[in-house]
Amino acid sequence: MTVLLGLELRGRSVVIAGAGTVATRRVRRFVGDGALVMVVAPEVSEDIERLALHGDITVHRRGIEEADLDDAWFVLAATDDPALNDAIASWAEARRVFCIDASDASKGTARQAAMSRHGETAVGVLSLGSPDPGRIRAVRDAVAAHIDAGEVDLRRRRTGEGRVILVGSGPGDPGLMTVRGKQALAEADVVVTDRLGATELLVALPPDVEVINVGKSPDRHPVPQHEINRILVERAQAGNTVVRLKGGDPYVFGRGGEEVHACVEAKVSVEVVPGVTSALSVPALAGIPVTQRGVSTSVHVTTGHAGADEAAVASMAAGATTVFLMGVTALPGIVEAAVGAGCDPLTPFAIIENGSTARERVTHGALSTIVGIASETQVKPPAVIVVGTVAEEGILASSIAATPEPKGD
């Protein structure tokens, strides 16, 4: 009978004999688990050399000796000599130390599973008969894809300590949400959501997951920030996993810092899952590179709530790309500030509404015309405003054609 066990190797000694392809492939996993890895081999691969240089592992450039296993918790015998690997497995068994024999799994006391991690959960697949690495990897990948697609309910079944996970859901397209973000949603007992971002994913949640909508709009703030903080903390203190689903990235004008501070102050465990920020992704999806060789080498991102501050004005005046989030209402003030800073009246503007969604619309204009155009076309939030040469319609194709390749030294 094969019994599957999870071994905690963090801070414990793992000895790897050999430094070829097999050892190199597996050493990173042990390092990732926090083990104290010692590699013993006359010659080592470039990857193992780099890990040693960075201090991630210890390397002894010589043949393995029986005494090397004296303080080990786990051993991997992965030399090019099957007889030596068998001997190492025997040394390990005499010390009651689990060992993987890379030459013949039947002669070792352990097998390494093909693993995938999904937040607090890990999935491992093993061959019970003759080793078949290709088959177990295929099974692992199929199961992992199913989980990461949000098809599995990952909520805790036993009562545990509550926690908060701040998830950046990206600009709106569910496909742009990170894998970890989707995993967090699958772990949620409570979801506290904004009105923007990948809210479409909420439809797939189990019906007994509590969803609390605290979304704000430019002229409506039904749930003030201090109340949002209270909801997060109280639901977590009740033992729930609380996902705070936010549009874009939690730390880019998303008040994520305030919510983390509230959790830390209340001694509630908190995790932040970064998201794809609308400031960069929405222009990119609309064909606007915020930086482009020969056109713009810097970008300034700012909130447009109150118009253009001094830094944004200086950015526009210097010809850098300037990106305003939440700036539709303040567009006349932004234009006025640019004119006051002496910006060229032909400075390109682009306004991208509902970026990444089926309702996306891009409006182009210039400093001297954009307010009138936006009024005529009834531009509405949510929208991202891009100012600078990169915002000119068709700039991507024309700038690539016009920019020569850099020459070598």
Catalytic site residues? 194, 216
Distance of alpha carbon 219 from the chain centroid = 32
Distance CA 327, CA 312 (A): 12
Query: What's the rounded Cα separation, in Å, for the pair 368 and 324?
Result: 18
Q: How far apart are the first and last CA of the chain?
A: 65
Task: Look up residue 244 and give its DSSP letter.
Answer: E
The kind and range of the H/E element at 352 are strand 348-353
In sequence order, the β-bridge partners of residue 348 are 366
Tell me the CB-side half-sphere exposure of residue 155, using CA atoms within 13 A: 19
Contact 197, 308 (CB under 8 A): no
How distant is the alpha carbon of residue 35 from its chain centre? 24
Q: Count Cβ atoms below 10 Å from residue 402 Cβ, excluding itself.
A: 9
Q: Which residues contact 139 (CB under 8 A, 6 or more apart)?
A: 114, 125
Are 91 and 17 in contact by the 8 Å Cβ rule? The answer is no
Contact call for residues 191 and 273 (beta carbons, < 8 A): no
